[in-house]
Amino acid sequence: MDYQNILVRYEDNIAIVTINREKALNALNRRTFAELRHFFSEGAEKNIIGVIVTGAGEKAFVAGADIKEFDGLDQESAAQLSRNGQEVFLSIERYDKPVIAAVNGFALGGGCELAMACHMRVAGGKARFGQPEVNLGIIPGYGGTQRLVQLIGKGKALELLMTADMIKADEAHRLGLANHVVEPGEEVAKAKEILLKIGTKAPVAVAKIIECVNAYFEPLVNGIEYEINAFGETANTEDFKEGAAAFVEKRKAEFKGR
* Active-site residue set: 113, 133
Distance CA 34, CA 202 (A): 31
From the list 158, 114, 162, 154, the residue with the least C-alpha distance to 138 is 162
From the list 72, 69, 58, the residue with the least C-alpha distance to 32 is 69
